Amino acid sequence: MEENRPLERLYELGLVVGSTVNLDHETAAFTEWLSRASEVTLAALFITAEDGQALQLVQTIGFPLPAETTLPLGMDPWRWLKERGVRTLQEDNLCRYAVPLVIEQELLGILCVVSCRSGEDLEREQRLVSTAANYLAVVLRNIRRYQALEERMAEVERLNRALSDLLDDLQAANRNLEATAARLRDANEELEAFAYSVSHDLRAPLRAMEGFAQALLEDYAGELDPQGEDYARRIMRAAQRMDRLIQDLLAYSRVSRMEIRRSPVRLRQAIEEALGNLAEEIQARGAQVAIEEPLPTVLAHRSVLVQAVTNLLSNAVKFVAHGVQPRVRIWAEERGERVRLWVEDNGIGIAPEHHERIFRVFERLHGVETYPGTGIGLAIVRKGVERMGGQVGVESEVGQGSRFWVELDRPSRQAWGNQGQT
């Protein structure tokens, strides 16, 4: 080594080491520089393993890399080298020293050197090697950091890919769901249209049956014996009942298909209109109806609401024990953004286990002989109210009367401003 040119040597080191992030390349470049810049006869460069538990011999000068390269942490490297047949003994004119590669208290490796220098020359060489080792430590730490960063980036990329796969799956599932919903909607609409046209077409032959039975009774009055007359009457009654059923089914179908437009509706007016529809029935049964104020305004489709209230009131005066005067009470209750309208009667009541099923089409708890009806009234109430964004329900026990309720939105200021009240 040219003793007076350590700076130039270090400058050279800077040119060949530290330009890549490849550990093998950098350590090889370092030992190459070391053999050129000094007169070391033997050198062993150990690097701390990833887990920090051992040292790994990665580069050598003056002897070949042994098969076994792992040195347990804490073991004397000189002894370890000697055990592998490396001649490291200090001979007359040889000196050996070890330089730790440390940065911020982290041991990144050890450089073992055997030099033929002595005295001041040796001291100069040691200073140079020590500075170079410090520089290598910085390079090694940067490589480690870069590798850790790369691993994290790869992990982030993996997570990103997994996330985007998940998103794809979710979108596909959504598309499937939408397609299924659309198919279901189409099928439902088709079914409803079919039911509507069939119901409609059924009424004509029914009317013919009823008409001919009537003609039989009127035009052949003298010729039919009592049994024949009874048959003709039964035909008429059956035709009338079927016509009632079909009309109710058509009403249900209509409420399911019609376009619902909500606007503010005064409950008081809707109730009065419903009572008007039932005036005859109420009078015939001698029913008493009490309407309690205040009755606020709700957001509803007027005719659908009137129909729902009519059905509830009709049931309230109908399902009463024989000989009891029907008494109905109507009131409303504000519940946050909603209004609940109650219709209470003193009727026969409904067992709790039937509270849900009575809202389904054709569900009745009694024979037609006891209480006439088709079993569609409450289905129309539920369908209509739900289509207006509301809910229905009942509280009742057998023999203790019933309280049906309908809950609807209150109109927002905006709805008040936009639409006239009906």
- Given the rule CB under 6 A, which residues bind ligand ADP? 311, 315-316, 319, 345, 347-348, 350, 358, 363-366, 373-379, 402
**188 alpha carbon, distance to own chain's centre:** 26
**138 alpha carbon, distance to own chain's centre:** 50
217 sits in the region (left: phi over 0; alpha: psi -120 to 50; else beta) called alpha
Shortest approach of ligand ADP to residue 363 CB, angstroms?
A: 6
Shortest approach of ligand ADP to residue 195 CB, angstroms?
A: 17
Shortest approach of ligand ADP to residue 318 CB, angstroms?
A: 6
Q: Which C-beta is closer to ligand ADP: that of 57 or that of 358?
A: 358
Strands 70-72 and 106-115: unpaired
Q: Which C-beta is closer to ligand ADP: that of 287 or that of 379?
A: 379
Shortest approach of ligand ADP to residue 348 CB, angstroms?
A: 5
Structure tokens at 315: 């049931």
CB 206 within 8 A of CB 242: yes
Q: Which C-beta is closer to ligand ADP: that of 64 or that of 367?
A: 367
Shortest approach of ligand ADP to residue 353 CB, angstroms?
A: 13
Shortest approach of ligand ADP to residue 347 CB, angstroms?
A: 4
In angstroms, the Cα distances linking 341 to 255, 309, 313 are 20, 9, 12
Place of tokens 């009519």: 310
Q: Which C-beta is closer to ligand ADP: that of 12 or that of 395?
A: 395
Structure tokens at 344: 């209470």
Element (H, E) at 202: helix 119-219
Shortest approach of ligand ADP to residue 337 CB, angstroms?
A: 28
In angstroms, the Cα distances linking 262 to 254, 297, 352, 416 are 16, 12, 32, 11
Other Cβ atoms less than 10 A from the Cβ of 409: the count is: 16
Q: Which C-beta is closer to ligand ADP: that of 364 or that of 410?
A: 364
Q: Which C-beta is closer to ligand ADP: that of 76 or that of 356?
A: 356
Interatomic CA distance for residues 92 and 279, integer angstroms: 130
Interatomic CA distance for residues 73 and 76, integer angstroms: 9
Shortest approach of ligand ADP to residue 274 CB, angstroms?
A: 14
Interatomic CA distance for residues 349 and 363, integer angstroms: 15
**Residue in 137, 121, 139 with CA at minimum distance from that of residue 21:** 139
Q: Which C-beta is closer to ligand ADP: that of 358 or that of 408?
A: 358
Shortest approach of ligand ADP to residue 286 CB, angstroms?
A: 17
Interatomic CA distance for residues 89 and 97, integer angstroms: 11
Q: Which C-beta is closer to ligand ADP: that of 212 or that of 342?
A: 342
Structure tokens at 170: 């979710």
Q: Which C-beta is closer to ligand ADP: that of 60 or that of 315?
A: 315
Structure tokens at 201: 């077409």
Provide the greatest CA pair distance for the chain. 153
Q: Which C-beta is closer to ligand ADP: that of 364 or that of 387?
A: 364
Amino acid identity, residue 130? Answer: S
Shortest approach of ligand ADP to residue 240 CB, angstroms?
A: 15
181, exposed or middle or buried, with CB in 10 Å at 0-12, 13-18, 19+? exposed
